[in-house]
A and B are shown apart, each in its own frame.
Chain A
Amino acid sequence: MSTAPAADVEVHLGDLGFGRGAHLLVQRALAGLPPGGRVAVSGRDPALPVHLPAWCRGRGHRVEWPDLGDRSDLVAVVVRGTADDDRWFGAERAGPALPSALSSRPPARWGLGARGALLEAGGPEARFDLDDRDLVWADVAPHLYAQAAARQWDPQTAVPWDDPFALPADVEAAVVQVMTYLVENEQAALVVPARFVGRIHPHFREVVQLLAVQMADEARHMEVFNRRALLRGAELGTSSAGGRQSLFTLVAESDFALASFLLSVLGEGSFVDLLSFLHQNAPDPVTRRVCWLAMQDERRHVVFGMAHLEHQAQLDPRLRDRLRAAIHRRHDALADTAGLNADVFDALVVLAAGGWHPDDVSTGFDRVQALQHAMDQGRQRRLVRLGFRPDEAAALSALHTRNFM
């Protein structure tokens, strides 16, 4: 096969100058040629004989001046240099663009490069320590993210803040107490994913996106619970030391799998039951609505937590040992605390009672006990799905913090 000389290409710029993007046409013509290829550039912009060589010089292309007699508007012949190719020597794709074939261990050099982008070699080694697919991923993440993004609601318009209602002072106080407790829990639920988002390799971006929306969910929950608490008064309820200690053990957990287990599978799972209970027993439309809205979001959080732990449990038989140890560790850390704020427990009974007759209180008490039973059953079900034997699931569920979350 003969080596044909590089085909000369002509570019006619007309009146277009380099001040208005003429370089795009020259660049396009050069891109189709090998180094050494020649592009004859013609044009009528008066500054072209100055700008064309200045532009070429900065990009490593050579300029050959024509015999001016040849063509009236030929400015110069550009000889393609190697810099454009050299810049992309050693470039690599940051994995596949679609999440169906993720890298199991994306390298640090991919860092913040968009997944699937062609990365120029060099650049920072951006270390994200959660870089193991099995530790963070769940196939359901892209779907859950899309669903979560579509279901964001506006706290201003989604809640009937102006609906008229009046509650007896002690019932209103019970609502305020429960709302105070919910705000605290949601603060923790926001901080926990926030601490991991910056550690997850961006290659698993759907997980990062999902956690970001989850954080936005919690931010809204904090807002509406706080707003309901202050709807008829100026003060919030009480905050127990034991309750805060319980939440802090969640925030302090630095292992993503264990934090997500404690938060999503055990905590938020029980929290969904609590919100359902409050939705049913709410004494006013605003409380009913904010609990319902939060419950929808929390369900999604539990689905993701379960999905990626189920995936991980299948791959790593030792995961269950770590989960078991985490429950014990948290139980031991909280053994000397009073657990759930007694004021919260009492407020739940008041709300479920709906009145002050001894029979009402008795009924309310039964309902809160039923709630605790439902929470326990739910935790056991989820533990069994993660591969624990039923008897062990029952024992582990019993060790869960009395603070619900």
Chain B
Amino acid sequence: MSAPTVLMGAVAYDPKVVTIWEGFRAWLRGRGLDFDFVLYSHYERQVEDLVAGRIDAAWNSPLAWLRAERLAAANGTAVRALTMRDTDQDLTSIVVVRADSPVRQVADLAGMVVAVGAVDSPQATLIPLGHLDAAGVEVDVRRFDVGVGLHGDHIGGERDAARALVAGEVDAACMIDANHLAFVQEGTLPPEGTRIIAQTARYDHCNMTVREPESAGVQLFGTLLLGMSYADPQVRPLLDLEGLTAWKDGRTSGYDLLARAVDAAGFFSPDGRVTATDYRP
């Protein structure tokens, strides 16, 4: 009997993606799963290929998860979040101003210039702008479109937004909580030079999206991922690169915030078509 197989898609947002998945491939193959991966240059084609059955699993951004879910439903099928990283759960985004800014609360931002990441960044654009929108605050958005199609995986847009804030070109900037800490620690933002005036509710990030019903290969894939241990010196460097200490069961309870933002922005239609007018992955 031939070994169970899985063909997974991953988006090549950074050269390290090759190192990570080649390492995981060797580890998975050593445990009886005939695993391989293909790389995509953006998430939209990856999602379409998953729903069309050309790949068995997609290492998806939260935005890609939402689209996969909608496309599958429109197609009469369904997808599931197989696993996610421990670091994908309970993230928040924040809105930051300079420490000397007169802005004290979200409402003060009305009519001001707010820097965001790329058009398709869940954490630095869609979710924080959704937060401001829900608060009824209309702002003038200045977008930093770095790595469009990568759904914000490329940190460049957020960093450029942070730099614009420090340079006084904008009144506020949006970013994910961990990147605010990273920007302060690396010196992009001066340690006491910014003030956080808004924080979104918690949401979840990437997941390993698979089609339902799952094949034996996909089931084994999930089991093996969950069995990866940070104590294993073979996979630990790969887990470090991928930014997790443990895989967890996938959950989909953390995507409502993004779904609302996507609908408010008209980014995807309910049946999963790309409807954002200025989005060219």
List A residues at the B interface (Cβ < 8 Å): 17-20, 46-47, 49-51, 53-55, 57-60, 63, 81-83, 85-87, 89-90, 120-123
Q: Which residue of A lies closest to B92 (CB)?
A: A50
Given contacts A51-B181, A83-B245, A120-B233, 6 further A-B contacts (CB under 8 A): A47-B180, A59-B245, A60-B86, A82-B231, A86-B231, A122-B233
Question: Quick one: CB contact mask for B227-252 with A, threshold 8 Å, 1 for yes?
Answer: 00111011011000001011000000
Q: Quote the shortest CB–CB distance from B195 to chain A (angstroms).
A: 7
Is B5 an interface residue, CB under 8 A from the partner? Answer: no
Question: For residue A87, which residues in chain B have a CB less than 8 angstroms away from its CB?
Answer: 230-231, 236
Q: Is the CB of B246 within 8 A of A51?
A: no
Q: Is the CB of A53 within 8 A of B184?
A: no
Kindly name the residue among B87, B90, B92, B230 whose own CB sees the greatest number of chain A CB atoms within 10 A.
B230
How long is the Cα–Cα vector from A20 to B193 in the complex, in angstroms?
Answer: 12
How long is the Cα–Cα vector from A83 to B228 in the complex, in angstroms?
Answer: 12
Kindly name the residue among A49, A60, A81 whose own CB sees the greatest number of chain B CB atoms within 10 A.
A60
Question: For residue B195, which residues in chain A have a CB less than 8 angstroms away from its CB?
Answer: 46
How long is the Cα–Cα vector from A83 to B245 in the complex, in angstroms?
Answer: 6
Question: For residue A60, which residues in chain B have a CB less than 8 angstroms away from its CB?
Answer: 86, 230, 245-246
How long is the Cα–Cα vector from A63 to B178 in the complex, in angstroms?
Answer: 14
Question: Quick one: CB contact mask for B158-183 with A, threshold 8 Å, 1 for yes?
Answer: 00000000000000000001101100
Interface residue from A19, A50, A83 paired with B230 (Cβ < 8 Å) = A83
Question: For residue A82, which residues in chain B have a CB less than 8 angstroms away from its CB?
Answer: 230-231, 245
Chain A to chain B contacts (Cβ below 8 Å), 13 pairs: A47-B184, A50-B196, A51-B177, A53-B90, A54-B180, A57-B89, A57-B178, A59-B245, A60-B86, A82-B245, A85-B231, A122-B236, A122-B237
Interface residue from B86, B178, B191, B237 paired with A54 (Cβ < 8 Å) = B178
How long is the Cα–Cα vector from A360 to B249 in the complex, in angstroms?
Answer: 97
Q: Is the CB of B233 within 8 A of A90?
A: yes
Interface residue from A18, A86, A120 paired with B181 (Cβ < 8 Å) = A18
How long is the Cα–Cα vector from A55 to B178 in the complex, in angstroms?
Answer: 7
Q: Is the CB of B178 within 8 A of A46?
A: no
List B residues at the A interface (Cβ < 8 Å): 86-87, 89-92, 94, 177-178, 180-181, 184-185, 191-192, 195-196, 199, 229-231, 233-234, 236-237, 243, 245-246
Q: Quote the shortest CB–CB distance from A178 to chain B (angstroms).
A: 57
Known: A57-B86, A57-B178. A19 touches B191 (CB 8 A): yes
Q: Quote the shortest CB–CB distance from B210 to chain A (angstroms).
A: 24
Question: For residue A51, which residues in chain B have a CB less than 8 angstroms away from its CB?
Answer: 177, 180-181, 184
Interface residue from A17, A50, A63 paired with B191 (Cβ < 8 Å) = A17
Question: For residue A123, which residues in chain B have a CB less than 8 angstroms away from its CB?
Answer: 233
Q: Quote the shortest CB–CB distance from A13 to chain B (angstroms).
A: 14
Q: Is the CB of A57 within 8 A of B233?
A: no
Q: Which residue of B lies closest to A57 (CB)?
A: B87
Question: For residue B91, which residues in chain A have a CB less than 8 angstroms away from its CB?
Answer: 57
Question: For residue B233, which residues in chain A have a CB less than 8 angstroms away from its CB?
Answer: 90, 120-123
Interface residue from A46, A53, A81, A85 paired with B177 (Cβ < 8 Å) = A53
Question: For residue B92, which residues in chain A have a CB less than 8 angstroms away from its CB?
Answer: 50, 53
Interface residue from A50, A63, A83 paired with B199 (Cβ < 8 Å) = A50
Q: Quote the shortest CB–CB distance from A16 to chain B (angstroms).
A: 11
Q: Is the CB of A18 within 8 A of B184?
A: yes
Q: Which residue of A lies closest to B176 (CB)?
A: A54
Q: Which residue of A lies closest to B189 (CB)?
A: A19
Q: Is the CB of B245 within 8 A of A86?
A: yes
Known: A19-B192, A50-B196. A86 touches B230 (CB 8 A): yes
Question: For residue B230, which residues in chain A have a CB less than 8 angstroms away from its CB?
Answer: 60, 82-83, 86-87
Q: Is the CB of A58 within 8 A of B196?
A: no
Q: Is the CB of A58 within 8 A of B177?
A: no
Q: Is the CB of B90 within 8 A of A19?
A: no
Q: Which residue of A lies closest to B99 (CB)?
A: A46
Known: A53-B90, A57-B90, A122-B236. A86 touches B229 (CB 8 A): yes
Q: Which residue of B lies closest to A45 (CB)?
A: B192
Known: A58-B87, A86-B231. A50 touches B236 (CB 8 A): no
Question: For residue A86, which residues in chain B have a CB less than 8 angstroms away from its CB?
Answer: 229-231, 236, 245
Question: For residue B185, which residues in chain A have a CB less than 8 angstroms away from its CB?
Answer: 18-19
Question: For residue A83, which residues in chain B have a CB less than 8 angstroms away from its CB?
Answer: 230, 245-246
Q: Which residue of A lies closest to B240 (CB)?
A: A87
How long is the Cα–Cα vector from A86 to B94 in the complex, in angstroms?
Answer: 32
Q: Is the CB of A58 within 8 A of B178?
A: yes
Q: Quote the shortest CB–CB distance from B202 to chain A (angstroms).
A: 9
Q: Is the CB of A50 within 8 A of B94?
A: yes
Q: Which residue of A lies closest to B199 (CB)?
A: A50
Q: Quote the shortest CB–CB distance from A253 to chain B (angstroms).
A: 39
Known: A60-B230, A87-B230. A54 touches B177 (CB 8 A): yes
